[in-house]
Structure formats: C-alpha cells, structure tokens
C-alpha cells in the first residue's frame, strides 16, 4: 500500500515537471542582459526574436519565455529563451519594445522604437561555412545557435556557439 501511495504522489510531480517554464530570474534564460533607455511612463516592455531566414523568410516572434525586471529608473535586466529550432535557419536579433497595445506582439506601430545591439544570433542546422547575407559576412558556424558580434572581426571566437548568452545588452 505504501509503495502505491508513493507512486501516486510521484505522478503529479512528474507531470508538473513537463509543464511550461514558470517565470525565472533573467540570468537563467538562454539570452540575458541589461536594457537601458527612456520608454516613457509605465512601459510594457517585451522581447521579440526578429530576423531573416534563408532564403527570404522574415521572423517576428515575441511568444517566447521571457522576463523583464526593473532595476531602477530607465534600467532593466531581461532574459529570454530561444526556440530550440526556429522556423528556418537564419540571422536573428533579440529586441526590446514597448508593447503599447498589450497584445504580446511586436506590431508595425511599435517597430520604430525598439532597443537593439550589434550582436546577431545565427541559427544553422549544420555546422560549417555560411555564405554572406545582407546583415552578416561569410563565416564559419557550429550546428545550432551562434553569436556573432559585428563590432569584432570574424575569428575563431567570433562567431561562437550561443547556447547560453550573457551580456546581450540592449539600448535605444
């Protein structure tokens, strides 16, 4: 009887572990950093993964696990999870925006006020050489997510594998 009761207790715990991820501290997400700039009074800050896939597919996805936490006046920390496999291989950025209409989507009226940086997230289904795009030069990447910093020259460490990215600071 005792073994049966213990087994029944474990079932809900196992099912709970399979559920969606609850809100976590920003640094526990795949991509984390700080966010700065004036957003007006009571902004509804959200994050979106935007970019272009190969050959010409545009991505705008703000339906990602994320958290934005105020750290003072015009200062926040954020974290966002990347999709395990995006819709297509491509070049992406995480951007922050004020979701003025509170619909959890980066709309055309909100695009002009995004916060971004000079770092690109590149997803490749296979490792190897990636041809130049409108946004990036030709480079060598690993399979999965890679981080390319446009402020630095292409090297053996740029781009680098991007499974966990910290210091992905955004400003506007």
Provide mean pLDDT across the span 18-31. 83
Q: How confident is the model at residue 20 (pLDDT cuts 50, 70, 90)?
A: low
Domain span at residue 97 reads 21-118+162-171
In a domain? residue 66: yes
Per-residue pLDDT at 3 exceeds 80: no
In a domain? residue 60: yes
Q: Residue 47 CB: number of other CB atoms within 10 A?
A: 28
In a domain? residue 100: yes
Give the per-residue SS3 of the chain.
CHHHHHHHHHHHHHHHHHCCCCCCCHHHCCEEEEEECCCCCCCCEEEEEEEEECCCEEEEECCCCEEEEEEECCEEEEEECCCCCCCCCEEEEEEEEECCCCCCCCCCCCHHHCEECCEEEEEECCCEEECCCCCCCCEEECCEEEEEECCCCCECCECEECCCECCCCEEC
In a domain? residue 127: no
In a domain? residue 167: yes
In a domain? residue 133: no
| Per-residue pLDDT tens over the stretch 62-79 | 999 999 999 999 999 999
Provide mean pLDDT across the span 112-122. 93
**In total, how many domains does the chain have?**
1
Provide mean pLDDT across the span 150-168. 93
């Amino acid at each position: 009887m005792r073994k049966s009761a213990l087994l029944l207790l474990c079932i809900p715990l196992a099912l709970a572990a399979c559920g969606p991820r609850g809100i976590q501290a920003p640094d526990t997400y795949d991509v984390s950093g700080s966010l700065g700039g004036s957003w007006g009074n009571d902004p509804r800050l959200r994050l979106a993964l935007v970019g272009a896939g190969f050959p010409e597919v545009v991505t705008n996805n703000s339906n990602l696990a994320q958290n934005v936490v105020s750290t003072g006046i015009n200062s926040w920390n954020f974290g966002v999870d990347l999709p395990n496999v995006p819709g297509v291989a491509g070049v992406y950025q995480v951007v922050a925006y004020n979701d003025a209409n509170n619909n959890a989507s980066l709309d055309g009226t909100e695009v002009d006020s995004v916060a971004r940086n000079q770092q690109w997230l590149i997803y490749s289904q296979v490792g190897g050489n990636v041809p130049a795009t409108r946004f990036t030069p030709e480079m060598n990447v690993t399979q999965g997510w890679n981080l390319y910093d446009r402020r630095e020259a292409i090297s053996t460490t740029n781009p680098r594998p991007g499974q966990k990215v910290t210091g992905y600071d955004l400003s506007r």
